[in-house]
Structure 1
Amino acid sequence: MPSTKSNSLVGLIEKRLDVSNFREQHWEGTFWEYLEIVTENPSVARNAFQRVFDMITSYGQETFTLFKQEMTRYTFFADPIDKGADGIFGLERPLIQLVDFFKSAAQGYGTEKRILLLHGPVGSSKSTIARLLKKGLESYSRTDPGKLFTYSWRLPKQMTGGDEGEVFEPCPMHEEPLLLIPFEARKDVLDALNEKLPQGKRIKLYGDVCPFCRKVQADLMDMYDGDWKKVMEHVKVKRLILSEKDRRGIGTFQPKDEKNQDSTELTGDINYRKIAEYGSDSDPRAFNFDGELNVANRGIVEFIEVLKLDVAFLYDLLGASQEHLIKPKKFAQTYIDEVILGHTNEPEYKKLQGNEMMEAFRDRTIKIDVPYNIRLDDEIKIYLKDFGPERIKGVHIAPHTIEVAAMWAVLTRLAEPKKAGISKLQKLKLYNGKSIPGFTEDSIKELKEEAPREGMQGISPRYIQDKISNALVSHQAVLEKAINPFMVMNELEGGLSHHSLITDEELKKEYKELLAVVREEYEDILKGEVQRAISSDEDAVKRLAANYIENVRAYTQHERVRNKFTGREEEPDDRLMRSIEEKIDIPESRKDDFRQEIMNYIGALALDGKKFEYNTNARLLKALELKLFEDQRDTIKLKNLVSTVVDDETQQKIDVVKQRLIKYFGYNETSATDVLNYVASIFARGDTKQDD
């Protein structure tokens, strides 16, 4: 019994235990009780492909439009089971192909006879997809919609040859109990069950029971003179919970040294200790049905680096996929019901393409390319899983640290645009949903069509994760309890010289040049934030906006403006209006059009019963903030920050800006100071150049 001290801990444990759920998951009953369950709910007898498809769709989906194309996002791939631990971001197209594969297989359209091959560069989520499917199946089999069943045999004393009386022997391949129905009657039973089901959900059974169960069933039929009903009295049906750790319905095979590979690892092997007991090595009771393909029956088997398998192994997979049959040593072909999923990288797949002997294997695979992310926001989400604020405690990660690393990773994966007038960085922004003058969604479609293999090369997310980790444990990070984008960029650049997968010096040079592009972009981001922090005096922006709108209204209506100080009527202040419009590149020739657009916009808001505010129009707000920054920059004397002497008045203004950086942009005291110093040095360099 637990002690008084441990009672509180025991209470916490008991809170998490669900006894009724345990009983439900360990249900046992007769074959006749199982027939009642199947009659009420035929879906319990689904095949592996149907179960995987239903498992994925059970978590829901949402449709969205991406570059004029309607896409589907399946919630399952965000990993709701483990709260996003294995969530996949930005791979909607490959995942739609994956789900379509299972949908077609579930409906019996042919893909259930194929090996699913995930192909892509290292670190592109191939293993994560496989892990999600396995984990999802385990979880789904514990739920009521995902339940499935198998059976054991109650063997009488005369069949065991022992003194212990009756024993229970489980089906070694945890097969579907309906397979025990004789072939002569099976079609009628399935037709009766399928009457209730729509076309795509109909139950289809593969073949016959395993050699062990076939032998037991035959012996019992002999014992009861062919009375099948009496034989079925020896069957105990039980709920089957799929589990990779317990080797039930989930298998994983990893290639080893080719000299030590043995096909028995896939299809089982003779149990030599039992040969003496049963008198023959061809007696199924003297065989271990524990190969990976046996174990994975009713679920899924993953082949890691499948194309590194010995050729003899690959031949085993041909029958396993096409005919749903495997050939254990000394036995007839045995039926299986499982999804065969393999994954491989680019070099191995190229070898397969060049090997004429492997034509049959290629013909039986459905390849799905799993590229790297080429959308910046999705790439950022990958790193936030490990380096988000809820995971990293005690170390401040300065704003944009993750962003610049992700930006560089995506740039390395993008093909050089063939279209004139667009850079890789602009292409990255277009793919990320930003608008760039002169480019439409049709332009994005063209860019994608000219680079069909985009994302199949470049820097792996693992490299980025390793370098962010290095920055977090560096001496500087420990000392300052913070990391910033420059620390991470230095790590990224330093690691290239000994990157194991990049041996081409030209490629290293190209990647370093892309880091320079990212540094420049980061500088622009910083300047923009500091400008906004300086100009985010709300009252000042409101006043400037009101002044601008008043002059624009007078200008468009050919009226004069009353001067508040002199009371005299004056012409609209074109100098003020142009000083604002120039900030967003409105040329002199388009000023009339722009001013009329603003007035039309205000009029449209008024018709909807809405009032124009200074921050209603994003484009105008940007122009106002830039104008205000320009007006205030000299009063703050930002460039003087790089000197050691700052007067009190300037310091007060700088402190206000610093607090805005902390409040609105996520900096802390140290990183805000660093950013101001850095931006000040940029402006100081710019002023020096102008003086020269």
Structure 2
Amino acid sequence: YQSKDGTAPFNGVIIVQANWEEWNKFCNNDKFKALRDRMCMVKMPYVLRSDAEVNVYQDAIANSDLSKAPLAPHTLTMLADFVVASRMSRAKGQRFDMLQKVHAYNGDEVDRVEKITGDESELVDALKYYKDLAQTKEGADPEGFSGISTRDSLKLLGRIFNANAVAPEADPLIVLETLEAFTSEQKNTNLKNQWHNLITQLKDEYRKKLEHDLKTACVPGYEAVGQEEYDKYVNYLNHLEERPGEMYKDGETTKSPEELEKELRDIESHIQIMQGKKPDEWKAFRGTILQNELRYRSVNSQAHKGWKTVPALFQAIESKILMTDKEMESIIRQGADATNEGIARHKKFVEEMLLKGYSQRQVHKTARFFLGNEPK
């Protein structure tokens, strides 16, 4: 049916989206007064999970000329953490770790936080604690309705890639420089102080991530070495459980039960959470690992579990196979007086870093940063 004036009846819902600036223009236009009376506004907050924010950047990059530009690990995560933090509420007088809040909202594993009620205090789940603060603290901004918009965050991403006048590229050090400049442009003094503190936190966190990248790159075949150590650990446990007192044989390798126990303890000495535990607790710890491993093999054609699937054991194995800071620095520096062996190890280190996603230039740039020589 259609009326004489050309209009047609409609029974349904029309969904539209707009940012605040466009919405305010619409509301201030009297031509749309009748239409406004028939509208129901649903407020949608900005993204508050870093992983989701990173997905926005990845989609934007993939559909642009920047898809082939060098992009170092941790770059997008650092920008996302900063942007998401800017959108989170912070009531006057609140004191907490903003970066920890970002990680909690993202679903990352974070330490429990101390909640003080009157004269009592208790350790509580970080995510629940921060969510409760956002809802109950008087004067707090609504979560996700202020801060850096998606549009502005993409502009920041463009500034980061275009910071190098020679060719587009992005790495965490450029992110830090860009965020410092962006923060200095803000007029709100309190906001500038908060963001400068956040940038300091991001820089410290990145240094730890970079240290891990550098250390693992100094171990040729890091993943394979770690898996081999894990496989040996569970195989030794299984042998001692099924054939106590018997010699262990694997190809040309023969070990006594005492030697197996010594190697097990060598790895276990790096398990922080088990230090000082009683023998019964160690036995239960070993038993749990072995049972889970054998159960996994039984349903996966005898394939071994990945060495990173048991966090405590993964950290222990990694502590064992990674080099000391001094050993790592000697490989990274590779001065003019380096031996042939040193040059070969440095070359292998660079190859491992390239496999992680760094460009040749970014390898040397980040290494200089870590060693204390800030790149220009």
Q: If the TM-score is normalised by the length of the shorter chain, which range does it land in?
A: 0.7 to 0.9
Q: Does 1:450 align with 2:124?
A: no
Whether contact under 8 Å (1:409, 1:459) holds in the other structure is: yes
Partner of residue 51 from structure 2, selected from 377, 385, 391: 377
Give CA-to-partner distance per residue, 1:611-650, whole Å, 9 cap, x none: 252525522445423421137x765554661755433212
Structure 2 partner of 1:50: 12
Whether contact under 8 Å (2:244, 2:257) holds in the other structure is: no
Structure 2 partner of 1:148: none
Structure 2 partner of 1:541: 226
TM-score by length of 1: 0.43
Classify 1:560/1:426 alpha carbon distance in 2 versus 1 (closer, same or farther; 3 Å).
farther
Partner of residue 397 from structure 1, selected from 58, 68, 71: 71
Give CA-to-partner distance per residue, 1:4-40, whole Å, 9 cap, x none: xxxxxxxxxxxxxxxxxxxxxxxxxxx8xx9xxxxxx
Whether contact under 8 Å (2:160, 2:174) holds in the other structure is: yes
Classify 1:438/1:498 alpha carbon distance in 2 versus 1 (closer, same or farther; 3 Å).
closer
Q: Does 1:435 align with 2:105?
A: no
Classify 1:306/1:481 alpha carbon distance in 2 versus 1 (closer, same or farther; 3 Å).
closer
Whether contact under 8 Å (2:334, 2:346) holds in the other structure is: no
Partner of residue 525 from structure 1, selected from 209, 214, 224: 209
Structure 1 partner of 2:351: 659
Give CA-to-partner distance per residue, 1:202-260, whole Å, 9 cap, x none: xxxxxxxxxxxxxxxxxxxxxxxxxxxxxxxxxxxxxxxxxxxxxxxxxxxx9xxxxxx
Structure 1 partner of 2:183: 496
Structure 2 partner of 1:668: 359
- Cα distance in structure 1, aligned partners of 2:67 and 2:299: 48
Give the superposition deviation at 1:509: 0.9
Partner of residue 126 from structure 1, selected from 19, 23, 37: 19
Q: Which amino acid aligns with 2:185?
A: H
Classify 1:457/1:481 alpha carbon distance in 2 versus 1 (closer, same or farther; 3 Å).
closer
Whether contact under 8 Å (1:411, 1:428) holds in the other structure is: yes
Q: Does 1:368 align with 2:53?
A: no
Classify 1:486/1:542 alpha carbon distance in 2 versus 1 (closer, same or farther; 3 Å).
closer
Give the superposition deviation at 1:429: 1.8
- Cα distance in structure 1, aligned partners of 2:326 and 2:246: 29
Structure 1 partner of 2:174: 487
Q: Greater strand percent: which structure?
A: 1
Runs of 4+ in 1 over 6 A off after TM superposition: 439-442, 555-558, 563-566
Q: Does 1:625 align with 2:309?
A: no
Aligned length: 343
Q: Does 1:387 align with 2:72?
A: no
Secondary structure (helix, strand or coil) at the match of 1:450 reads helix
- Cα distance in structure 1, aligned partners of 2:54 and 2:300: 39
- Cα distance in structure 2, aligned partners of 1:655 and 1:509: 42
Whether contact under 8 Å (2:72, 2:170) holds in the other structure is: yes
Give CA-to-partner distance per residue, 1:89-135, whole Å, 9 cap, x none: xxxxxxxxx9xxxxxxxxxxxxxxxxxxx8xxxxxx627xxxxxxxx
Structure 2 partner of 1:473: 162
- Cα distance in structure 1, aligned partners of 2:367 and 2:239: 40
Q: Does 1:603 align with 2:288?
A: no
Q: Which runs of 5+ in 2 are unaligned?
A: 3-7, 114-122, 136-141
Aligned ranges 1:266-665 → 2 under 5 Å: 303-307=23-27, 309=28, 313=30, 317=33, 319-320=34-35, 322=37, 340=39, 366-388=40-62, 390-392=64-66, 395-415=69-89, 423-436=97-110, 438=112, 444-452=127-135, 453-474=142-163, 477-479=164-166, 481-499=168-186, 503-535=187-219, 536-553=221-238, 559-560=244-245, 562=247, 568-570=256-258, 572-573=261-262, 575-582=265-272, 585-589=273-277, 591-613=282-304, 615=306, 617-618=308-309, 619=311, 620-630=313-323, 637-638=329-330, 641=333, 643-663=335-355, 665=356
Whether contact under 8 Å (1:417, 1:447) holds in the other structure is: no
Give the superposition deviation at 1:656: 1.8
Whether contact under 8 Å (2:245, 2:257) holds in the other structure is: yes
CA RMSD of aligned residues (A): 4.1
Higher RCO by CA contacts (8 Å cutoff, separation 6 or greater): 2
TM-score by length of 2: 0.74
Give the superposition deviation at 1:446: 4.6
Give the superposition deviation at 1:518: 0.9
Whether contact under 8 Å (2:248, 2:255) holds in the other structure is: yes
Classify 1:549/1:588 alpha carbon distance in 2 versus 1 (closer, same or farther; 3 Å).
farther
Give the superposition deviation at 1:551: 4.0
- Cα distance in structure 2, aligned partners of 1:640 and 1:443: 38
Give CA-to-partner distance per residue, 1:638-669, whole Å, 9 cap, x none: 46617554332122122223222222x22222
Give the superposition deviation at 1:514: 0.2
Give the superposition deviation at 1:601: 0.7
Structure exhibiting the larger radius of gyration computed from Cα positions: 1
- Cα distance in structure 2, aligned partners of 1:586 and 1:425: 29
Aligned ranges 1:132-281 → 2 under 5 Å: none
Give CA-to-partner distance per residue, 1:350-390, whole Å, 9 cap, x none: xxxxxxxxxxxxxxxx4432322210011122333433475
Give CA-to-partner distance per residue, 1:279-328, whole Å, 9 cap, x none: xxxxxxxxxxxxxxxxxxxxxxx854345x27xx28x72x5455xxxxxx
- Cα distance in structure 2, aligned partners of 1:380 and 1:609: 33
Whether contact under 8 Å (1:376, 1:407) holds in the other structure is: yes
Percent identical residues:
18
Q: Which amino acid aligns with 1:522?
A: Y
Secondary structure (helix, strand or coil) at the match of 1:50 reads coil
Classify 1:371/1:305 alpha carbon distance in 2 versus 1 (closer, same or farther; 3 Å).
farther
Classify 1:592/1:435 alpha carbon distance in 2 versus 1 (closer, same or farther; 3 Å).
farther
- Cα distance in structure 2, aligned partners of 1:676 and 1:586: 34
- Cα distance in structure 2, aligned partners of 1:654 and 1:423: 38
Classify 1:516/1:371 alpha carbon distance in 2 versus 1 (closer, same or farther; 3 Å).
same
Q: Which amino acid aligns with 1:604?
A: R
Classify 1:412/1:559 alpha carbon distance in 2 versus 1 (closer, same or farther; 3 Å).
farther
